[in-house]
Homo-oligomer: A and B are copies of this chain.
């Protein structure tokens, strides 16, 4: 029998506040009511808001980024009841397509202000900034970062199944301990927060409970994946998600037109609203079958249509775990990766980009971030690969860098 058009399991309304759309939610909690049902084996389309729920506008000021309300983010589509799924199973999700909305052919990349969100390099670059990206089919370019154009490796930033009550309790316990014991003078984790909680179609009592207990959506977490922000989890990928509650309660959102390994600026991908097409399949007792018992993290197989750059057209920047103040850290891949980032900034600055433009680029262009060596005490070594082919001028080390007039990204007013 011929198949017809695919069912759209959730339609979102870009013109309506996210909090008024009951098939969305912004906390991980097993009690968020189902927003719909998907059959085992079914393929559906699911529409998603951008991760800020529309707070960021297509203009030339970063004030919206500076003032973003981070309690009103990550309105995920779902959770879906997956028929037959039970705890111990694995939900195999095939990402068959991801598309921006046809009449909304643009996205944004932002750098949050150090005092409101921050990001990987916020101690060096504390200001808010923004780039708007326009889409031309598979390509994107930005008036805020001239000289760059590339094909997006489009993907969802967030997908996962709801935690069980036990897992949720574990999350709150261990992240609470981090918050209590940290000596860092910055926010290290986000505890449950009743303000602006969106619990889907939950009644008031349940919503209150979810506000008190529900896990924030910012971090990915090992037991379910969640906000994993993996740039290669793109079209054609298969991801194996552990199921922890009856019906799975699968949610998805935070679509990215493109992202670099690390998504370093926090609002770092090219953030979009759009539609994802997924096929779901329940693998009964899958956690035992796949060696995932005990809250093991998801695995995935990438799709076959990643943009291809020849190895010889990439420039790799080494980074070691000696920080920018000359301090030696012990085998710290995070410090090393920050150094690789700074090396890219120093390199590209010579062509006329300002540092905030490069910081934005590092976040959203398809850089390849590798853990190169994590063995030779005390220096972890990371590398970042920068594709030369996305630039309209030659950035190879064999040519002399000439400063071009490359404008600026959008900045926030002081």
Contacts and interface: CB of A to CB of B under 8 A. Distances in A.
Interface of A: 2-6, 43, 58-59, 94-97, 102-106, 119-120, 132, 134, 136-139, 151, 170, 174-175, 177-178, 182, 184, 187-190, 218-222, 225, 227-232, 235-236, 240, 261-266, 268, 277, 279, 289-292, 296-320, 322, 326-334, 337, 339, 343, 346-347, 349-350, 368-383, 389, 394, 396-397, 400-401
A375 B236 contact: no
Contacts of A4: 103, 105
A343 B138 contact: no
Contact of A316 (B151, B222, B299): B299
A389 B310 contact: yes
Contacts of A225: 318
Contacts of A326: 170, 174
> Dominant SS at the A interface?
loop
Nearest to A158: B376
B318 A228 contact: yes
Given A330-B184, A332-B334, A381-B228, A306 B299 contact: no
B222 A318 contact: yes
Contact of A297 (B58, B261, B318): B318
How many copies of this chain does the complex contain? 4
A404 to B, nearest CB: 15
Nearest to A330: B188
A236 B310 CA distance: 13
Contacts of A263: 373-375
A230 B315 CA distance: 13
A9 to B, nearest CB: 14
Contact of A220 (B182, B265, B381): B381
B297 A3 contact: no
6 contacts: A96-B138, A120-B375, A230-B373, A299-B397, A304-B309, A308-B311
Q: Which of A104, A265, A349, A383 has the most CB of B within 10 A?
A: A383
Nearest to A307: B304
A349 B291 contact: yes
Given A138-B235, A297-B343, A373-B230, A302 B328 contact: no
Contacts of A343: 296-297, 299
Contacts of A102: 5
Nearest to A320: B222
A289 B371 CA distance: 27
A394 B266 CA distance: 37
Contacts of A314: 301-302
A279 to B, nearest CB: 6
Contact of A378 (B178, B297, B320, B376): B178
Given A96-B136, A369-B374, 19 more contacts: A2-B132, A3-B134, A175-B328, A178-B378, A187-B377, A219-B379, A220-B320, A222-B318, A222-B379, A228-B381, A265-B375, A297-B318, A297-B319, A302-B314, A305-B306, A310-B389, A334-B334, A337-B371, A370-B370
